[in-house]
Structures are given as structure tokens and as C-alpha cells.
Amino acid sequence: MGLLRIPRQDDQESFVLVHIAPLAQKAAATLDVKILATEGMKQSQIQKLKSKKAPCTDSEWEAILEVILLQQESDPEKAAAAEGIEVEAAIEDDVAVELIFKKSTSGITQRLGSLRLPHDEDQEIELFDWCGASITHSHSLTSTLKSAQADLHKEQAKSQKLADQLEELIKAKEENEHSLLEKFSLLLNEKKAKIRELQRGGGEVEMPTRHKKEKEEEPVVETEKAG
């Protein structure tokens, strides 16, 4: 399932390799896993591994183990719970390896829990198989990453094309508005010139038709002749 490189608590330059594998082909629960040189870990028992004063809930502790041990980071909530979590390995020669989960906040380190891996001389370490599985997993991740990058480039190209089209539309709109303003200004200047020409020529401005009709309809008063 996975191979982890965990730094030693007493020497950050050194590390411990931890191999994680399902207890069965179809495990009953996500965290029913076998960890190097142990009898395994049952999801139903993981709360016993958490420190009593750990500043995290049971569900957060479960999420931390899934992200750290199983490298399941696809769930944003679980990934957020495991953010800033560190794991160190405390070594007791020929006795056990203890994986310590901790979190540092504002310079204060808090222990969340630990997983003790007792020494087992009969446990065979299959480094070649582990490395092969790790490389296969790495290739799978690389392929997924390349596919995601290709999709991202396609979306970026589409986005750029839409941006270019929008820019062209805005430019065409501005040019159209400018053309209309020029035509309106030209028409207005022609009207003004025509008015000035009439004023210089002494032309009379005709009265509106309604006023003309009123003048025509005025009654004629007849004057009687005297005597």
C-alpha cells in the first residue's frame, strides 16, 4: 500500500522505513493495516493510540492516521486535519520502534499519539519488493500529474481564447461608439452651419403650421357705412 520515510527522533539525518499494507485483500475498515514488524493495527483500536491530552478529536485523529500512514490526501477536510503534523521515530535497539505523531503551534509542540512497533526477529524485510511497489506508485502519481497538467493547459488555452474574444468585442464596441459619435458630431456641425447661413442671409423662420391656421380662421369684422 505504501512506504514511508520517517526521520529518527534522536537523529534527523537518519530515518526509518515503514511499510504499510492491508491486513487482508478486502479489509473491513480503512485503517485495518499491517505495519512493519507488528501484528497490525485495527481501526477499532486507533483511539487507544491517541494521547489523553491530544488537542484533536477522535475523528481528527483518525483523519491524521489516514493521511499520514495511507497517504490519502484527496479529502480536503482530512488533509486539513493533518496539516502541520510531524512524525518521528524513537528507536529502542532490538526492542521497538515508536512512531510519534506531534504538532507544533506557536513554538509549542504537542504530542498527539504514538504507534509502537515491537522488534520481531522473524519479520523479513523485503526491501526490493517495497522499492518496486513504491516506484510503481510513484509512476502512477506521475502519470496522474501529467494528465492533470494537460487538462490544466487545455483549460488555460480555452480561458485565454475567451479573454481574447472578449477583448476583441470590447474593442469593436469602442470603435463603433467612436464612429457614432463622429457621425453625430458631423451632423450637428452641418445643422449649425445651415442655421448660421440662414441668419446671415436674412432668411425668415416660418411660423409653425398651427399658428398659420389660427391666423387664417380669424373672423372678418364688417364696418357699416354711415347714413
Same domain, 14 and 117: yes
Task: Report the percentage of the chain scoring pLDDT > 90.
Answer: 19
The phi-psi region of residue 40 (left if phi > 0; otherwise alpha if psi is between -120 and 50; otherwise beta) is left
Q: How many residues does the chain have?
A: 227
pLDDT single digits (tens) 126-159: 666 767 767 777 788 888 889 999 999 999 999 9
Same domain, 157 and 174: yes
Residue 37 has pLDDT above 50, yes or no: no
For residue 142, the enclosing domain spans 126-201
Same domain, 53 and 135: no
pLDDT single digits (tens) 69-78: 777 777 788 8
DSSP secondary structure of 137-156: HHHHHHHHHHHHHHHHHHHH
Q: Report the domain count for the chain.
A: 2
Q: Which residue has the higher pLDDT, 85 or 209?
A: 85
Averaged pLDDT, 25-47:
64
Residue 32 counted as domain residue? yes
Look at residue 89 in the predicted model and tell me its pLDDT: 82
Same domain, 90 and 197: no
Per DSSP bridges, beta strands 96-105 and 85-92 are antiparallel
- The mean predicted confidence, pLDDT, of the chain is 77
- Using pLDDT thresholds of 50, 70 and 90, give the confidence band for residue 227: very low
Same domain, 193 and 83: no
Same domain, 141 and 189: yes
Question: What whole-number distance in Å separates Cα of residue 102 and Cα of residue 80?
Answer: 15
Q: Residues 6 or more apart from 133 whose CB is under 8 A from it?
A: 3
**Coil vs helix vs strand at 92:** strand
Same domain, 135 and 77: no
Look at residue 62 in the predicted model and tell me its pLDDT: 86
